[in-house]
């Protein structure tokens, strides 16, 4: 049994477990170690590692979903996933997948069981997150040859979308003049957020991660190089959502004027969006947005929906879709159309009026 003992500096006994469970995908030995306070904990850890080791020998029926996720999947993803994505994955696994499949053997999970759990999800979005995360995990199990096929692949019947699902990111305002009016109403704390969202379509993390040194008033450009996002234990500055997201975006004369007024004549450094002299955090931003919308009786715009507002209003104003897509830093125009262009009911009515004029009914 690969369990050794040693004494700490304070004289306490500790138990060290070390098991080589197989090989990583890069061909290097996959050695797992753990320090335990008691022999009982050490034996339990040793048993878990031996279970994973048996997987390498083809005995997949001995590993449960919980063991596979905790011992193989999540450790492998710690470095591969962005910290924000990792936090979301952990939440879905903890709150949804583990209660459903934690004690089930990986090889025993089937489509009928998956469909039953999907049907119980409260919203369409929750069901999609459940399915997509499970699909990714079991996909790794296929690669490891634990199972022959992925039971989470293919189509499932999901709960129908509700209005709350469609509007979870907030209201969309498609008129540039209305954007201006709302910016004029904003408090000094919220004004830079609205300018960066309405005028550039930045993501919330990019808005909060922007520094004054990233704004070049001479060339009228802003550089997106980082995001300020929530992780497990707080917030941190990190990479943008994708490499494609790092780019230089041109400023309109209106946006440049607004940002110059916000900056003022003084030499300002650090974050553009601040809260009590520190970089603004997501929860602070959301709280200010809710209070602002309520005070001025506005449509329920959010930090997330500002990006949608920009895309929809820009296209409505006549900006070519390929240019909007470039500003949003999408890899394809299809992404811009499908995810961020949201024609509103009044816009569709305007289209009908145009058709009427064509028919000679105007």
CATH of the domain at 129: 1.10.150.130
Structure confidence at residue 129 (pLDDT): 92
Q: Are residues 325 and 263 in the same domain?
A: yes
Whether 358 is covered by a domain: the verdict is: no
Q: Are residues 118 and 94 in the same domain?
A: yes
Write the DSSP string, 118-167.
Answer: HHT-SSHHHHHHHHHHHHHHHHHHHHTTSSSS-TT-S--PPPPP-HHHHT
353: Cα within 13 Å, side-chain hemisphere: 6
Whether 359 is covered by a domain: the verdict is: no
Structure confidence at residue 168 (pLDDT): 54
Q: Are residues 50 and 32 in the same domain?
A: yes
Structure confidence at residue 20 (pLDDT): 83
Q: Could you report the per-residue pLDDT of 30-40, keeping only the tens digit for each? A: 788 889 889 98
Structure confidence at residue 203 (pLDDT): 92
Low-confidence residues in the chain, pLDDT < 50: 58-60, 165-167
Structure confidence at residue 342 (pLDDT): 60
Q: Which domain holds residue 180?
A: 176-351
Structure confidence at residue 52 (pLDDT): 66
Structure confidence at residue 189 (pLDDT): 93
Whether 88 is covered by a domain: the verdict is: yes
Structure confidence at residue 56 (pLDDT): 55
- 180 to 7, 185, 192, 281: CA distances (angstroms): 67, 9, 12, 24
Alpha carbon distance 188, 181 (integer Å): 15
The SS3 assignment for 34 reads strand
Alpha carbon distance 289, 304 (integer Å): 11
Whether 362 is covered by a domain: the verdict is: no
Structure confidence at residue 336 (pLDDT): 85
- 151 to 119, 155, 348: CA distances (angstroms): 16, 10, 41
């Amino acid at each position: 049994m690969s369990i050794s003992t040693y004494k700490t500096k304070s004289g306490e006994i500790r138990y060290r477990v070390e098991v080589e469970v197989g090989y990583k995908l890069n061909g290097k030995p996959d050695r797992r170690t753990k320090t335990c306070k008691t022999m009982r904990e050490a034996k339990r850890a040793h048993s878990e590692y031996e279970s994973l080791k048996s997987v390498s020998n083809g005995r997949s029926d001995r590993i449960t979903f919980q063991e596979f996720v905790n011992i193989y999947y999540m450790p492998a993803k710690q470095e591969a996933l962005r910290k924000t994505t990792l936090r979301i994955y952990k939440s879905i696994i903890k709150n949804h997948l583990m209660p459903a499949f934690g004690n089930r053997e990986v090889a025993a999970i089937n489509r009928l069981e998956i469909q039953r759990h999907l049907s119980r999800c409260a919203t369409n979005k929750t069901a999609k997150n459940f399915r997509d995360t499970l699909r990714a995990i079991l996909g790794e199990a296929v690669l490891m040859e634990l199972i022959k096929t992925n039971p989470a692949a293919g189509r499932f019947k999901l709960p129908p979308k509700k209005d709350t699902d469609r509007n979870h990111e907030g209201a969309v305002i498609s008129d540039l003049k209305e954007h201006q009016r709302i910016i004029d109403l904003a408090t000094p704390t919220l004004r830079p957020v609205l300018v960066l969202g309405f005028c550039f379509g930045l993501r919330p993390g990019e808005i909060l991660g922007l520094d004054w040194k990233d704004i070049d008033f001479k060339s009228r450009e802003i550089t997106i190089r980082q995001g300020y996002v929530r992780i497990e234990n707080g917030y941190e500055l990190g990479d943008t959502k994708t490499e494609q997201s790092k780019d230089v975006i041109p400023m309109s004369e209106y946006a440049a004027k607004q940002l110059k007024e916000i900056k003022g004549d003084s030499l300002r450094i650090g974050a553009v969006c601040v809260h009590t002299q520190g970089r603004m955090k997501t929860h602070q931003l959301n709280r200010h947005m809710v209070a602002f919308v309520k005070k001025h009786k506005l449509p329920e715009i959010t930090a997330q929906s500002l990006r949608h507002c920009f895309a929809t209003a820009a296209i409505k104003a006549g900006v070519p879709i390929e240019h909007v897509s470039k500003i949003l830093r999408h890899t394809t125009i299809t992404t811009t159309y499908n995810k961020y262009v949201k024609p509103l009911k009044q816009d569709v009515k305007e289209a009908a009026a145009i058709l009427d004029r064509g028919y000679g009914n105007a």
